[in-house]
Structure 1
Amino acid sequence: MEEIKAAIIQARGSAYEIGKNTAAAYAKNPILQQFSQLASQQTNYEEIKALFSDYAPHLLDELQGLADGLGLSLQDAAVLYSGYNLPRPQALGCSAYVDQFQYVRNYDFSPSLYDHCLSFIAPEEVFGSIGYNLQLIGRHDGVNEKGLAIGLHFVSNSGYQKGLSAWSVLRIALDTCETTQQVINLFKELPHAACYNFSVGDAQGSHAVIEVAPEKLCVRSSRAGLNCVNHFQHGELEAFNRQDMTSSVKRDNFLLNLDKSEMTQEELFDLFSDPASPLFFEDYDQLFGTLHTFAYSFQTWQLITSLSRGNPLEIDIEDWFAGKDLKIDMLYGRIKKEPTPEG
C-alpha cells in the first residue's frame, strides 16, 4: 500500500483572492507539469474570454488570481486551466446514486492524474461550494451552499469538438445554479466537448441524470432513485457509447438489483467506499482505481467524504458556509502501489 493525500483548500473572499489561494496550494503540486503538456497551442484566449464573460465572468477573475499566484500571464492561465479546447480525455470511471434524500458517488481514475485537492470556497460573486478539484478551477464533483450536488461520469469521445470540459461546466453549475432544472437549462446552452453523464440533485428533492453529447442533451428523471455510471441509457444517445461497456453495465446492474431506498447516508457511503464492494476498484495502473467517495444528504446537509481506504471527513456544510473553518488541512488514504514499469 502507498499513501495518497489531498490538500484541503479553504478560501473566502473575491474570485481573484480564491484564485491566489488556489495557486498557493498548487505551488509544489507535480500535476501542474502534466497540465502544461495538455493545453492546445491552438486555443484562442479571446474565445475563452467571450465564453466565460457570458456564463462565468468571475472565473476570469479567478484565473487572473491563479495567473498572478503562479507567475503566468492571464492568457496562459486561461489556456492551461479553463478547461476549454483540451485534447481528448482518457477514459475514466465513476459510479453514483441519487434520490430525493441523498447523493453518493465514487471517482475512479489514476492517482498520477489526480489534483489531490479538496476545495472549500466562498466567493463573493457566486455561490460557495465544496468539491474535489480537477485542473485547478474545475471539479470532479461537489455540493454548493444551496444544497445542489453534482458529479461527472465520462462516457466517450464520440463526436468530440471544441468546447468546455465536463469539469469546467460542472464548476459553473456549482457556482451559478440552485436547482436541478437550472443545471439542465445551463447545460443546454454551454458548448460541451465530449460525451458525459452528470448525476445531480437539489435541496428540493429534484434529481436527474443529464446525458450530454456535444450535439445533443437528454435527461433521465424518476421519482425513485437513479443510478449513474459511464454509458448513455437514453435511446437517442446510445450510438455515442463506447464499444466496451462491460464494467459500466456491471456496476449499473449491481445498483439496480440492490434496494437502496431504505439505506442511510452512512450505509450508502460504506457501500461505495468499502474496498470489498463491487463499486470499489483498484486497477490504478489501468486508470480505474477508486480515489475518493463523496456522499451528501439533502435533508441533514451533512457531507461525508474520504480518499481510498481513508478516514471519513464528516461535516455539516452549513457550518462551514457560516464561517466555521475546518481544523485540518489534509485528507489521507491508501491505495495499492502501482507496478514499476520494467526497462
Structure 2
Amino acid sequence: MKQFYSDVIQYRGTHYDFGYFQGERLKSSPILPNREKQWEPRKNRHFLINPEAYKEIMSTFAPAILNEIHGLADALHMDMEKAFRLFGGYYLQYNRSGCSIFTDTNFMVCNYDSHPRGYEGRYILYEPTDQGLAVIGPSMQITGRIDGMNEKELVMGYNFTHSKKSGDGFLCNMIGRLILETCASVDEAIALLKDIPHRHSFSYVLLDPSDASYVVEASPREVAARRSNVCTNHFHLLEEENRYRQEETRHREQTIQKQQQHAMNPYQAFKVMNDPTHGVFSKKYDADAGTIHTSMYFPNELKAWFVIGPDRRPVVFDFAKWLQGDKVIVKRIKGELEYHQPFVNME
C-alpha cells in the first residue's frame, strides 16, 4: 500500500480572484507539469473549438467561470487559448473512468473509479462573492468537479458510460461544476443537462431535499431522466448508447442493490461502498477502474464525508458551519491505495 493525499483548498471571493489564487498555488505544484507529460503522446487530440466560440457558449451558461479561467491565466502568465485548453472543460480528451453511486432519502454515497495517475488530489470549498452558489467537492481539471454539494442542498455525482461517437460539448467535470454552481434543485439541474452540449456519454445522479433521486442519462445526441437510487456505468433508457460489454457494470449495480438492503444507517451504507469485502470497491487501477475516493453527502445537514482508499473512517466536513464563516482546519486528506504511481499533485 502506498500513501496518497488530497489537498484541502478553501476560498471565499470573486471568481477572478479565486482563479488567480489557484494559479499562484499551481506555480509550486507538480500538477501542470505532470499533466503536460501525460498529454504529450496525445497532444493532437487535446484541442478545443476556437476560443471565441468557447467564450460565447460559456458566457451563456456560466460567465463567472470565464473570469476564474482568466485569473488562472494571469497568475500563470499563460495565453487564453492554452488556459481554455487546460481549464475550460470543453472538447478535450478525457480518460475513461468508472464509478458507483447509491442514494437514500437523505444522502448520496459515491465511489470514484479511475486511474490514480490522472487524479489531481484537490478537495475544494468555494463560496463566490460575485455570482453563483457555494460548492464543496473534489476537483478535476482544476475548474471542474467530480462530485459535490452546493449551498442549496443539491448533490451531484456522475458515472461514465462511453466516449465513442463523441460530439462538441462540455466534459463531465465541467458539467458537474455548472450543475452545482448554477442550479438550486434537481429540476433545474435536469433542465440544464437537457440544454447544454455534451462531449461524451455519462449518467448524472442528482439528489435534493425533496428526497427525489434522479439519474439523468446524457449523450451528445439525447438526454433522458429517470427516478433511481443506484447508478453504475450503463444506461437504462438510452440503451443504444451503451457499450457492447455490460456484464461488470450490471453485476456491480446488482451487488449495490443487494448489499445496501442490509445497511441500517448511513455509516453502514458508506461501508458497503468503501469496504472491499462488500464487492463494490475496486482495485483495478491499471484498467482505469480502481476506486480512488469515496464521497458521501447529506444535503439536509450540509455535511460531507470523504476518504481516499479502502476501509477508512471518513473525514467529516460541516459545510453549513463553513458557510457561516468557520474555517476548515484539515489541510490534507490522507489515504492508501494498492498502486505504485502517485497522483498528479504529488512529486
TM-score, length of structure 1 as denominator length = 0.92
1:230 corresponding residue in structure 2: 233
Is contact 2:155–2:297 with CA below 8 Å preserved after alignment? yes
Residue by residue, what CA displacement relative to the aligned partner does 1:105-142 show, whole Å, maximum 9, x if unpaired?
10011111001100010011110000111100001100
1:142 corresponding residue in structure 2: 148
2:344 corresponding residue in structure 1: none
Query: Are 1:246 and 2:247 counterparts?
Result: yes
- Structure 1: unaligned runs, 5 residues or longer: none
Q: Structure 1 residues 121 and 260 mapped into 2: Cα distance closer, same or farther (>3 Å)? A: farther
Query: Are 1:200 and 2:203 counterparts?
Result: no
Q: Structure 1 residues 129 and 334 mapped into 2: Cα distance closer, same or farther (>3 Å)? A: same
Task: Give 1:218 deviation, angstroms.
Answer: 0.8
Residue by residue, what CA displacement relative to the aligned partner does 1:18-66 show, whole Å, maximum 9, x if unpaired?
1122223333443323544357345311111001110000001100111
Moved more, 307-316 or 6-15: 307-316
Query: Are 1:40 and 2:46 counterparts?
Result: yes
Query: Are 1:31 and 2:36 counterparts?
Result: no
Within 5 Å, give how 1:89-108 maps onto structure 2: 89-108=94-113
Which of 328, 332, 335 is the aligned partner of 2:334? Answer: 332
Task: Give 1:261 deviation, angstroms.
Answer: 8.4
Within 5 Å, give how 1:271-282 maps onto structure 2: 271-282=272-283
1:316 corresponding residue in structure 2: 318
1:267 corresponding residue in structure 2: 268
Q: Secondary structure at the match of 1:258?
A: helix
Task: Give 1:90 deviation, angstroms.
Answer: 3.0
- Structure 2: unaligned runs, 5 residues or longer: 342-347
Q: Structure 1 residues 114 and 259 mapped into 2: Cα distance closer, same or farther (>3 Å)? A: closer
Residue by residue, what CA displacement relative to the aligned partner does 1:282-324 show, whole Å, maximum 9, x if unpaired?
1212211111111112333221111114542112210011111
Query: Are 1:123 and 2:125 counterparts?
Result: no
How far apart, in 2, do the equivalents of 1:34 and 1:213 lie? 30
How far apart, in 1, do the equivalents of 2:216 and 2:109 lie? 16
Query: Are 1:60 and 2:105 counterparts?
Result: no
TM-score, length of structure 2 as denominator length = 0.91
Q: CA RMSD in A?
A: 1.9
Identity %: 28
Moved more, 68-77 or 261-270: 261-270
Is contact 1:294–1:306 with CA below 8 Å preserved after alignment? yes
Q: Secondary structure at the match of 1:11?
A: strand
How far apart, in 2, do the equivalents of 1:330 and 1:300 lie? 23
How far apart, in 1, do the equivalents of 2:262 and 2:339 lie? 36
